[in-house]
């Protein structure tokens, strides 16, 4: 098993589930440390039942995760494949996001070992998984931050543009914005229309609104510039707040822990059946599996109906 | 619209969604205050778009909710029906739990007005709704409380039995227990077997466990007695902690707010179509409607697979 | 060093401070495990600079703490004294509350080793310390719980009696009640006057109050009975909520961590000077020391002016 | 009464205390809205006992606060003085920070009305007040954010530079850094020495540290540049996280509420005695008053001993 890519709250709960379910089913469990780098350098430690005690509620990952540029090169992949063989690994579980799964797909070409992906990323952008481990936690962390910011927005009668994570996708921004009651939500999937934003703010002002929250994914463009333009065009006192890394950590919520346990259980089940090259997913409320390559090559759609709903609700 | 039964975090978000979606669709929206009592006494106030500003993140209900014994009698139901007519109500949305829906069913026999139920209860026991508004919040509140208690359990090497809400059903206990990594989960659906509990604790002790958390629904019996019996049989220092009302309040989580907005939207849609005598639900990840009478007369099953999983994970 | 008595958030921060300050000053630091029991059974481990990494924010105590009935007997004290000598201990720091300090006083009679007490208890009842480690955390935990309960109190128009910890002293109840805006605060230092309580609730009702919070220390009597009597006398729907063990755990607040660091620093300073039989304290905003025996034999007064203020503020 | 300058958690608790204590002592209480602007435009509303119900736990200020450039000009001050007379104001309480008090001092030259300042600012930089309303809340909010960030720092073996508020003073950075166990704390009062920072990080690495937290006040310079320089010089993966406005909002902690109640009580007492041109303060654990002009013209010293302690503790 390996955790890879950005850390997400609930990764530890997934590690715990895999260890606790795999060992009684006859597996020996190894944890490669520091993401794919540990595969390349053979930094590995055996995990027993007690080694995952007291971690279900901790953010981050006890297996660590660092970026591994080497893993993108043939040389690195080869060494990883060799180390998997050397350690007599029959199946590899990769806990991570889209980028990690693409790496897994490459690795798969180098060796015959079945690989199962467990979607764990606050970006929620894995095709085949309606929700990823860590997403619910990040949404709630951002919501609580906005609850704080709203105090100041209201007291000072200001506009706040709150930038949440999401370089290419707007899942986090959409969910945070809808549930925070944000007046405007900006996602990378929809081009920013400053005129429309300013018009909506003006209309709100006419209806009596004195403060507003705009939630924007980081990928929508230069949020500082957008904030300044809103200020100068509307005359509102608009401020920018970038939530940043606080969204990545913290104790996982119940839902992130639940997905971690269910995804972990499914991954062990798949390996037991000898299946590989799949990711574990959630579809229509059910835990399912999805072809690894298909997941990597497909784009999970954003629910634009929710965007529409958010706009209607925040009149 | 009326909120009824025990309050649940997210009720206000549902009220907001109904008001914000119904008014632009041509409805006039009235809020009956203090639950069904307000129907009987005609305590009612009109709700406009601004009246639901700044409430999406608040626990409780701005419409209040009190127990109404009169509503269980023919006399009370009659007066409620008269008041609905007097106010020219074309459709009633009841935000509450199972008991409230049974009341709605009775009221329905007295008048022809379509009634839509929105499931909002931390008990999560409404047939037709895989999840109710408020449940996710209550689970997370209880989880955080158990995180605190675990500090003391570990430091003092104690067993803690944590009683969560749930007089007849174990949804909350199951979800809290699974996600807290509780060693043992007691639900009203399964008879308490003290011998088995003590055996499991003894086995844990042999494997090196020095502290354990037991999560029990209040409906499993006298939790104080159970705790004392565990103490005397195992020799462990076992303590009881009753979480109580802290589980009912607090700012709703993202998921409780999301369900509230989606359920509210669906309820307005149903009324717009002239449908009634249904509850809004969630099935297989989709927002659906379910027959009101069928929901009242059916029992939502507890996922015993999760109970099994929780036990396997907490070795 | 030893942690003793009930655990309090910030104990770990104190352990960290002692280790990190004592070692560079030439001390060797030992941690006796499981409270005074570890002194008796010689359960001890050396602590180095890295052993206290990553613990400043954790509740509970990494040294564990269990009740030790043996320590109250001559035999136990003797063995503890022997073990201190065997380990060549030049000074003992006891992190705990009043009971632990009384134990330390007894131990002191058996051996010449200087003992320094660090007040760490959520009860805040140590004479010589205006505030103890853990108190601020417990107050804030209880406050957040009451914020949740108030949602239900307001929505249901109920009275809630919230029982907080404090068998003999009302520091926690007073601070929680004052800062929660509780209408009535009951402390063990003042006899409960049911007539007066009911009168105040009635007056509040006349002024338009529909819900109220009463905060009571556990030591004021049978809180269930008091709640029932209030219900029956006033006609209000009064409920009891016992906060229990959630008050003892959780991540320490900034203030509890600060006191832990300052108290730890003072304790090391005192031992360095060869002083003993003192506790570290806080008086008039300054870190001071106080005679151990005097602290044990004196009673820290409750600020009744604050009780009066709380009552005036909650009209 | 007026709230002025940046909002601080606990301002509402102070407003409540003033209203609840002043009215029974025979005062009539007026709230000027939107800071000093309300004084100039005579935007004022009477406050009665019930108008401050249910606000003790809310961040922000129900009286609003906006920047008022006019108040810095003679014209604005004149109109403010006229409005005070027109409303027959006998005494003005200004709840705010240093800048607001300087404004009060100017206003005082225009009229004879006694003015009392209540220090409420998360910057904690008011001379005469060891602690200001809101400071403890901001510290705890930042601490929780850093707890989240540390998850990612540890999992990714990174350095995080966390920027907290404080343009000219380092009180917040110092308190946050000390209590977060930050390896390095940067405050505006001490010049940033990049060589020393890098040396300390290198030493930490040699002792086995793989991740570190640096807490910096915004006033220490361009934190993005500092972060990049640290990255390039040490080879560490260093990231910047700017906490921003989340530090200004949120429910006030127990301590911020307590100070608010005590400061409010003292302010009413001073006005009752006919005293003015003072601020309420906290010195040596006691609530005191301090001359307004002296407070404005003096600089509250930063406790450099704490900086030293923080450095020793974070080896």
Nearest CB to A251; choose among B24, B147, B208: B147
Q: Are residues C10 and C56 in the same domain?
A: yes
Average pLDDT over residues D112-133: 97
Question: D16–C258: do the CB atoms touch at under 8 Å?
Answer: no
Which chain C residue is nearest to residue B61, measuring alpha carbons? Answer: C155
Task: Report the mean per-residue pLDDT for chain A.
Answer: 96
Instruction: Establish if A54 touches chain B: CB-CB under 8 angstroms.
Output: yes
For residues D276-295, give the mean pLDDT: 97
CB atoms C148 and B246 under 8 Å: yes
Domain-located, residue A307: no
Whether B14 has a pLDDT exceeding 90, the answer reads yes
In a domain, D314, yes or no: no
Query: Could you tell me where the DSSP H helices lie in C87-193?
Result: 98-110, 135-156, 171-180
Q: What CATH number corresponds to the domain at position D23?
A: 3.40.50.450
What pLDDT does C73 receive?
Answer: 92
D275 and D115 Cβ atoms separated by less than 8 Å: no
Q: Say yes or no for a CB contact (<8 Å) between D258 and C49.
A: no
Rounded to an integer, the average pLDDT of A31-47 is 97
State the number of CA atoms in the 13 A half-sphere of D211 facing the CB: 20
B223 in the same domain as B168 = yes
Confidence of residue D67 (pLDDT cuts 50, 70, 90): confident
Tell whether C239 is within 8 A of chain D (Cβ). no
The mean pLDDT of D179-207, rounded to a whole number, is 95
Which residue does chain D place closest to C147, by CA atoms? D57
Confidence at residue B192, expressed as pLDDT on a 0 to 100 scale: 95
C127/C144 same-domain check: no
Q: What is the mean pLDDT of chain D?
A: 96
Q: Do A286 and B284 touch (CB under 8 A)?
A: yes
Residues of B in contact with A307 (CB under 8 A): none
Residue B311 included in any domain: no
Domain-located, residue D308? no
Q: Looking at chain A, which residue has its C-alpha nearest residue B257?
A: A179
Taking CB atoms and an 8 Å limit, are B139 and A315 in contact across chains? no
Task: Identify the residue among C12, C59, C173, C179 best suited for mutation to test binding to D, counting D beta carbons within 10 A and taking the highest.
Answer: C179
Q: Which of residues 285-304 of C touch D (CB under 8 A)?
A: 285-286
C87, C51: one domain: yes
**Angstrom distance (rounded) from CA C2 to CA B171:** 42
pTM above 0.90, yes or no: yes
> Quick one: pLDDT at residue D210?
87
CB-based contact A313 B176, cutoff 8 Å: no
What Å distances lie between residue A232 and A160, A194, A227, CA to CA?
A: 14, 12, 9
D115 and D150 both lie in a single domain: no
Q: Angle at the Cα of A168 (from A311 to A215), degrees rounded to 5?
A: 35
* A308, part of any domain: no
- Predicted pLDDT at B67: 84
B210 pLDDT above the threshold of 90: no
- For residue D143, what are the contacts with CB-CB under 8 A and spacing of at least 6? C57, C253, C254, C257, D176, D179, D180
Answer whether C313 touches D (CB < 8 Å).
yes
Q: Do A109 and A238 fall into the same domain?
A: no
Rg (CA), chain A: 21
pLDDT of residue B275: 95
Contacts of A249 in chain D (CB under 8 A): 147-152
Last residue of a domain, one of B208, B229, B247: B247
Same domain, C129 and C142: no
pLDDT score, position D5: 93
> What is the Cα–Cα distance from B237 to C66, expressed in whole angstroms?
10
Per-residue pLDDT tens digits for A44-74: 999 999 999 999 999 999 999 988 889 989 9
Closest-CA distance, A64 to chain D, in angstroms, reads 4
Query: Are A140 and B137 within 8 A, CB to CB?
Result: no
Q: What is the pLDDT of residues B129-156, one digit of tens each?
A: 999 999 999 999 999 999 999 999 999 9
For residue C251, give the chain B residue with the closest CA.
B148
- Find the mean pLDDT for residues D233-241: 93
Is C123 an annotated catalytic residue?
A: yes
A210 and A179 in one domain? Answer: yes
Nearest to D156 among A7, A149, A239 (CB): A7
Question: Does residue A120 sit within a domain?
Answer: yes
Whether B254 and A139 lie within 8 Å, measured CB to CB: yes
Q: For residues A91-116, give the mean pLDDT.
A: 95
Shared-domain flag, residues A80 and A20: yes
Question: Considering A7, A112, A123, A136, which one is annotated as catalytic?
Answer: A123
Q: Do A245 and D160 touch (CB under 8 A)?
A: yes
C129 and C18 belong to one structural domain? yes
What is the least distance, in Å, from the CA of A280 to any CA of chain B?
A: 17
Sheet strand arrangement including D238-242: D184-186, D212-217, D159-164, D238-242
Of B36-40, B69-73, C108-112, which one has max mean pLDDT?
Answer: B36-40
Could you give phi then psi for residue B300, rounded to 5 degrees? -70, 125
Distance CA C200, CA C215 (A): 14
Q: Which two tokens stand for residue D272?
A: 């009752």
**Catalytic residue (one of C7, C112, C123, C147):** C123
Segment among A226-230, B279-283, D202-206 with least mean pLDDT: D202-206
Q: What is the pLDDT of residue A207?
A: 85
List the chains bordering chain B where 3 or more Cβ pairs fall under 8 Å. A, C
| Subunit contact C66:B239, Cβ cutoff 8 A | no
Q: What is the mean pLDDT of residues D272-288?
A: 96
Query: CB burial class (10 A; 0-12, 13-18, 19+) of residue B95?
Result: buried
A169 φ, ψ (degrees, to nearest 5) = -125, 155
Report the pLDDT value the prediction gives residue B266, as an integer from 0 to 100. Answer: 98
Closest residue in B to C249 (Cα) is B148
What CATH number is attached to the domain comprising B184?
A: 3.40.50.460
Q: Which helix (H) or strand (E) holds B102?
A: helix B98-110
Residue D207 in contact with partner chain C when CB distance is under 8 A: yes
Please report the pLDDT score of residue A300 as a whole number: 97
List chains adjacent to chain C, taking adjacency as at least 3 C-beta pairs closer than 8 Å. B, D
Interfacial B residues in 142-201 facing A (CB < 8 Å): 143-144, 147, 150, 154, 175-176, 178-181
What gap in Å lies between CA C47 and CA C28, rounded to an integer?
A: 8
55-74 in chain D: CB under 8 A from chain C: 56-57
User: Hey, is the C-beta of D28 within 8 angstroms of any chain A C-beta?
Assistant: no
Q: What is the pLDDT of residue D186?
A: 98
The whole domain housing C26 covers 2-134+252-297
Q: Which of D7, D90, D123, D291 is catalytic?
A: D123
Residue B308 lies in a domain: no
User: How many angstroms away from the CA of D16 is the closest CA of chain C?
Assistant: 8
Show residues of chain B in contact with A25, CB under 8 Å: none
In a domain, D313, yes or no: no
In terms of CA atoms, which chain D residue is nearest residue A35? D156
At residue A184, the pLDDT reads 97
C45 & C121 share domain: yes
Tally of domains within chain C: 2
Give the closest-approach CA distance of D176 to chain C in angstroms: 8
Mean pLDDT value of segment D29-58: 96
Reply yes or no on whether the pLDDT at D21 is more than 90. yes
Best residue in C162, C241, C245 to probe B by mutation, most B CBs within 10 Å?
A: C245
C312 and chain D in contact, CB less than 8 A: yes
Full DSSP string of B150-203: HHHHHHHT-EEEEEES-SS--HHHHHHHHHHT-SEEE-TTS---HHHHHHHHHH
* pLDDT score at D223: 97
- What is residue D207's predicted lDDT score, i.e. its pLDDT? 85
Measure the CA–CA gap between C243 and C223, rounded to whole angstroms: 12
Give how far D89 is from chain C: nearest CA, Å: 23
Task: Provide the number of CB pairs (under 8 Å) joining chain C to chain D.
Answer: 112
Pair (A117, A10) in one structural domain: yes
**Which chain C residues touch B245 with a CB distance below 8 Å?**
148-149, 152, 160, 239, 241
The pLDDT tens digits of the residues spanning B214-242 come to 999 999 999 999 999 999 999 989 999 99
* Cα gap A315→A298, rounded to integer Å: 35
A254 and B147 within 8 Å at the Cβ level: the answer is: no
Q: Do the Cβ atoms of A140 and B254 come within 8 Å?
A: yes
CB pair distance less than 8 Å for D20 and C309: no
Q: Render pLDDT for A125-142 as a digit per residue (tens, 0 to 9).
A: 999 999 999 999 999 999
- A249 with D141: Cβ contact below 8 A: no
**Which residues, given as ranges, of chain C have pLDDT below 50?**
none
- pLDDT number for residue B207: 85
């Amino acid at each position: 098993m390996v955790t890879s890519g950005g850390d997400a709250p609930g990764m530890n709960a997934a590690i715990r589930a895999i260890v606790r379910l795999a060992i009684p089913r006859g597996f020996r469990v190894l944890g490669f440390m520091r993401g794919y780098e540990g595969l390349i350098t053979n930094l590995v430690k055996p995990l027993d039942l007690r080694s995952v005690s007291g971690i279900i509620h901790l953010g981050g990952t006890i297996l660590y995760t660092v970026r591994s540029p080497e893993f993108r090169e043939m040389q690195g992949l080869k060494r990883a494949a060799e180390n998997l063989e050397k350690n007599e690994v029959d199946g590899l579980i990769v806990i991570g996001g889209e980028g990690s799964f693409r790496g897994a797909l490459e690795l798969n070409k180098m060796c015959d070992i079945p690989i199962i992906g467990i979607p764990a990323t606050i970006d929620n952008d894995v095709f085949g998984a309606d929700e990823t481990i860590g997403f619910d936690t990040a949404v709630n962390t951002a919501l609580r931050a906005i609850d704080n910011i709203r105090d100041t927005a209201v007291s000072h009668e200001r506009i706040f543009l709150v930038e949440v994570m999401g370089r290419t996708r707007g899942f986090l921004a959409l969910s945070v914005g809808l549930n925070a009651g944000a007046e405007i939500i900006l996602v990378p999937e929809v081009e920013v229309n400053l005129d429309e934003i300013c018009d909506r703010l003006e209309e709100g002002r006419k209806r009596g609104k004195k403060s507003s929250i705009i939630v924007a994914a980081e990928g929508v463009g230069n949020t500082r510039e957008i904030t300044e333009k809103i200020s100068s065009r509307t005359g509102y006192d608009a401020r920018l707040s970038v939530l940043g890394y606080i969204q990545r950590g913290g104790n996982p919520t119940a839902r992130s822990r639940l997905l971690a346990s269910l995804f972990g259980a499914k991954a062990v089940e798949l390996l037991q059946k000898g299946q590989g090259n799949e990711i574990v997913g959630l579809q229509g409320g059910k835990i399912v599996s999805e072809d690894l390559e298909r997941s990597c090559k497909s784009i999970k759609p954003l629910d634009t109906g929710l965007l529409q709903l958010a706009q209607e609700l925040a009149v």
